[in-house]
Chains A and B, each alone.
Chain A
């Protein structure tokens, strides 16, 4: 079980965009160290906005966001919806980017890149260019880049949304193992009920815009998750329950 140290604390954070759209109503959220928390909700409910607020990419209109000292700056990494790789250079150079930007010394940087590529199983593809890789492998490269600074806190914004289900399941399993091994705290945004149940220790269900957190479901299954978990009666029950909650959350929202 997770200890009680708070990794992310969101207090009464709201966001209204310049065009007047209320993306988020005042929202409270606490993620403890070692937790894997998933945000799920109808599209446009502000899940991604919340993640971007926590990452500091967007400033809140109201409220306060606190990160544990370990989760600040280099301790925080963000994985985008798309692989977001620089197409003009190799996987290796892409993964090294955060270290290059911070001026990390070369030998040390190369060693860390090799380690990060090993974590995602891409070490043999270091010299490949992004376009030479499959969608799943590009996403692995993107995760390696996030891990290269040795973060404690990982924010993922629907990272596997564009992948086929087989690839997505494999990546979910590998991510689960990775997070357990590296003792990462994770906040994960997804559209997929199965992905949410499989990965998380806690699932937060958000309402349609303006987003609020409606419900919370704890998934008490030991981490890392095994592939066999998907075939259990418990998995089916949790998925069905979550599906019902999501239908409630969708209520009133245009499909």
Chain B
């Protein structure tokens, strides 16, 4: 590893360790009771002890987030392609996409949860609503941001609409799509957690957010922290996954993923 890489990995780890030690020291020195702030080591212990319960919840949250993100990508890309094909479709759909985006999820989640019979499906719909917008806007901009000279070239060689879409518009849109995906991945997780909070005890009773809710009510703060850590780790894992996907797809040609030469 180069010096720069050590710095990039080592510095945040050092900060994290220092934070945990200070946290632990403050809790021990001030004799803070665990139901207010548990020490980091107690959180770790709880995480291990309650792993049976928490891992089940983690799986549920992962499934909801994953399904929602997949749905957001499929629907979002399909809608973008449709709206690029016809101004009429774009003009008819765009206002509703904006309405969906500006209405806070917490406000519509209760309705979705009442209307949709299967609670798991309701959660997936909420998380999809939360995450689809950046996919649509970014992909649409990408599909439109085509080099006009290349467009002329395709026209000159008599390319069909389909050929232009597949060979020119979609590859041009890839960097924009991945930028949108990065945001959408974070929003899908937030959407899943928020929806589960709204669903509360009427929900699936199994996701990580439900565990946080219940731990809070029962003043089981160490478990609340443990669940919180798992949500954060899920978010980080999603971010890394999307970043890796973008790198694999764009590495050889797009400026955003080219190795920096010094």
Given contacts A84-B150, A86-B150, are A57 and B253 in contact (CB under 8 A)? no
Chain B: residues with Cβ within 8 Å of the partner, total of 20
Given contacts A86-B150, A86-B168, are A131 and B253 in contact (CB under 8 A)? yes
- Minimum distance in angstroms from A52 CB to a CB of chain B: 8
Residue pair B155, A100 in contact (C-beta under 8 Å): no
Residue pair B150, A55 in contact (C-beta under 8 Å): no
With an 8 A cutoff between CB atoms, is B26 at the interface? no
Instruction: Determine the distance from Cα of A215 to Cα of B158 in the docked complex, in whole angstroms.
Output: 35
Given contacts A82-B149, A84-B153, A88-B253, are A101 and B171 in contact (CB under 8 A)? no
Residue pair B153, A78 in contact (C-beta under 8 Å): yes
Residue pair A102, B157 in contact (C-beta under 8 Å): yes
Contact-size category for A: 20 to 34
- When distances are taken between beta carbons in the complex, the residues of chain A under 8 Å from B147 are 84
Residue pair A57, B158 in contact (C-beta under 8 Å): no
Chief secondary structure at chain A's binding surface: loop
Given contacts A87-B254, A88-B174, are A101 and B149 in contact (CB under 8 A)? no
> A: which residues have CB within 8 A of B?
55-57, 73, 78, 80-82, 84, 86-89, 97-98, 100-102, 129-131
Chief secondary structure at chain B's binding surface: helix
Residue pair A57, B157 in contact (C-beta under 8 Å): no
Q: Which of B129-172 contact A (CB under 8 A)?
A: 147, 149-150, 152-159, 163, 167-168, 171
- Minimum distance in angstroms from A2 CB to a CB of chain B: 26
- When distances are taken between beta carbons in the complex, the residues of chain A under 8 Å from B87 are none
With an 8 A cutoff between CB atoms, is B5 at the interface? no
Given contacts A87-B253, A101-B163, are A56 and B156 in contact (CB under 8 A)? yes
**In-complex Cβ contact of B156 among A78, A82, A86, A129 (8 A):** A78
Residue pair A129, B150 in contact (C-beta under 8 Å): no
